[in-house]
Each structure stands twice: as structure tokens, then as C-alpha cells.
Amino acid sequence: MVGPMTQEIIGSVPLFAGLAARELGQLSQALVEVAHPEGHVVFREGDAGDALYIVVEGVVKISMTSGAGRDIVLDTLSAGEHFGEMSLLDGSARSARATCLLPVRLLRLQRTAFLGAITLHPTIAIHVMERFSRRLRDADESIGALADEAADDSIGAADAHRIRILGEFIEQGIPFNKTLGVQVVALRTGYTVLRIPFHEGLIGDPFRPALHGGVTSMLADTAGGAACFTMLTSASDRVSTVDLRVDYLRPGKAEDVFCEARVLRMGNKVALARMEIFSGRMPDPESGTDRDEAIAVATGVYNVSRKSG
């Protein structure tokens, strides 16, 4: 069993946020802590769905294998985030694979224990169903928006394929990025989110500890350039940094570091991008206040060389 902090931890999971203390207490009693080494596969596609997991420490990659045999990364999760929640309701086979990118500590909530908890406290089931219903409604709205956007978007299959190849190149084709472990979280026309999972080699100030400023500026530069490149039309086009200004707002915690980049202007020869850097996790897109926690903001000016035109 686990310690007294588990009630607070499970209460921070969006699926259970807002439950009464006695209900959270019932769920926390059912949690079991497990530890896995780097590279361990928590579950694979097709495995029985029998538990929800909460990340206490480390990083877990959620991925699936495409028809062509390529590993498609769906998400990377760090402390405070959870995965496998659908198994609590339907117990169906896993649709993705969960792999430990670093040594991890997880809290596991077995489906049988969850069902026992809702037998004692039926309000838990009502609360969870409301949360799932809200997520499905949000997903429907997002799918509708994407469908409308796709109808108006001039980006064809070839361009979508080029952006996918760009994502692979960012992660695997640039040796420095590969050494730091840069991961593509989001990549679409004019927009990029990159992530570097935390490891001790990123520390610049061991007394706080805090991230090295070079990690922040490097990630900002890479994300800004990648966002600009998504707006070009050929793999032979080039983007190179002309000027990068980084305003450091506060020390970066010893946690994963994220950078969100948006293209503000794309000209024939020059592009301008705006970047925000966060440590720990990306802010909730619906919460503007979370953006006040950025550890740095940056502006990048990039030279655009259109070999295709």
C-alpha cells in the first residue's frame, strides 16, 4: 500500500477532481505503488485493460504501431499525469503501448478495486461518467472543428506527409536533438510544441536545482524554426536563424521542459515566430492564467530560403 499523500495525488487527477474527501480516501486505499526501470513496457497493445496508472516520478511514452510498422508517439506523460483510464469502465484490450522513458514510480488503481469503491460510493461512478461525458463532448466539438478546417485547408496528403517526416527529422535526424531527447508533442502548419524529458544533464544550477539556460534557448530556437518550416512547400526549402531573443522570467524547475511556438509572420525571405517555454507541463489551453507560469518567452527571426521557387 502507499502513503498518506495518495489522497492528494488521486484528487489531482482530472477524472477524480472534485470528489468528496471520503470518496477520495476510498480510492486512495486501493492504490498500489509500482516501480519500473527505463525501457520497461507497462502494457502493450492488445493486453487486457485492468488498471489506471498515475505517474509519480519519471516519464512514460504512450505509443502505437502503424500499419507500416512505425512507432507513433501519442503522448509523453510525467509526474501528476495519468493513463489507462478507459479500462476502469470497459475493461477492453489496450489500444496503445506504455513504455518507461526513464525509471518510473507509478500508482496503480486496479479495475476490480475501482468497481469495489463505486459499490460503496455510487457517487464516484456518477462523477466519473460525467467527466467522461464532458471529454466526449469536447472531442466531438474538436472533431467537428477539424472537419471544417480540413474542408477549407489547402494542405494535401503530400504536405501532411512532409510534416510527419519533419517531425521524425526533428527527433531523430538532428544528432544534438537526439542526444537531448527532443520529442515532438504537436506539429501542424505554423505551430509546434516540443518537449525535452528531464534528466540530470539538463541542470545548470545544481544548488536550486534549475535548468541550464542553454536548454531553454535551444528548445525555443528549434521549436520556432520547426514552426516556420511547416509553412514551406518543399523539403529542399531551408530555414536558418537570424536572431533569437530570449527573456528569462524565472528559473526552470528540474522537470520536463516544453516549448510552444507560433509563426507570427511568414514572408518570402523572412519569418517571425513567438515562443513560450514551460517546465513541468504545458498549460491548460483553456486557462490563460497558467501561461503566467512560463519560465521564458522568446522571439525568433528566421531567414527563409525557398529552393523550390
Q: Tell me: do 13 and 103 sit in the same domain.
A: yes
Number of structural domains found in the chain: 2
In a domain, 195, yes or no: yes
**1 inside domain:** no
Q: CATH number of the domain that 173 lies in?
A: 3.10.129.10
Quote the CA–CA distance of 212 and 233 in Å, as a whole number.
35
pLDDT in tens, 201-214: 888 888 888 888 89
Query: What pLDDT digit, counting tens, does each position of 47-78 carry?
Result: 888 898 988 888 888 888 766 666 677 777 88
Q: Which residue has the higher pLDDT, 126 or 278?
A: 278
pLDDT in tens, 251-274: 988 889 999 999 998 888 889 999
Q: Is the pLDDT of residue 309 over 90?
A: no
Amino acid at 126: I
Q: Read off the pLDDT of each residue in 26-39 and give the average, rounded to a whole number.
A: 88
The answer to whether residues 31 and 115 belong to one domain is: yes
Identify whether residues 199 and 260 lie together within a single domain: yes
Containing domain of residue 219, as a range? 156-305
- Rounded CA gap, 298 and 135, in Å? 33
Of residues 221 and 69, more confidently modeled: 221
Question: Which position has the grid cell 505503488?
Answer: 33
Q: Are residues 121 and 71 in the same domain?
A: yes
Within a domain: 15? yes
Check whether residue 16 and residue 124 sit in a common domain: yes
Residue 290 pLDDT grade (very low, low, confident, very high; cuts 50, 70, 90): low
Same domain, 261 and 169: yes
Neighbouring C-alpha atoms within 13 Å toward the C-beta of 243: 6
What is the reported pTM? 0.49
Share of the chain above pLDDT 90, in %: 21
Rounded CA-CA distance 214/175 in Å is: 16
CATH classification at residue 116:
2.60.120.10
> Is residue 296 very low, low, confident or very high in pLDDT (cuts 50, 70, 90)?
very high
pLDDT for the residue 117:
82
Give residue 127's pLDDT: 76
Indicate whether 208 and 161 sit together in one domain: yes
Question: CA 247 from chain center: how many Å?
Answer: 24
Q: Read off the pLDDT of residues 75-90 as tens digits, 9 standing for 90 and up.
A: 778 888 888 887 777 7
Residues 126, 198, single domain; the answer is no
Q: Choose among 17, 185, 43: nearest CA to 106.
A: 43
Whether 69 is covered by a domain: the verdict is yes
Same domain, 162 and 126: no
- Are 65 and 110 in a shared domain? yes
The residue that leads in pLDDT, 135 or 143, is 135
151 in a structural domain: no
Q: Are 277 and 240 in contact, with CB atoms under 8 Å apart?
A: no
Are 100 and 187 within one domain?
A: no
Q: Is residue 289 part of a domain?
A: yes
**Residues 160, 127: one domain?**
no
> 223-250 pLDDT, tens per residue?
999 999 888 876 667 888 989 999 999 8
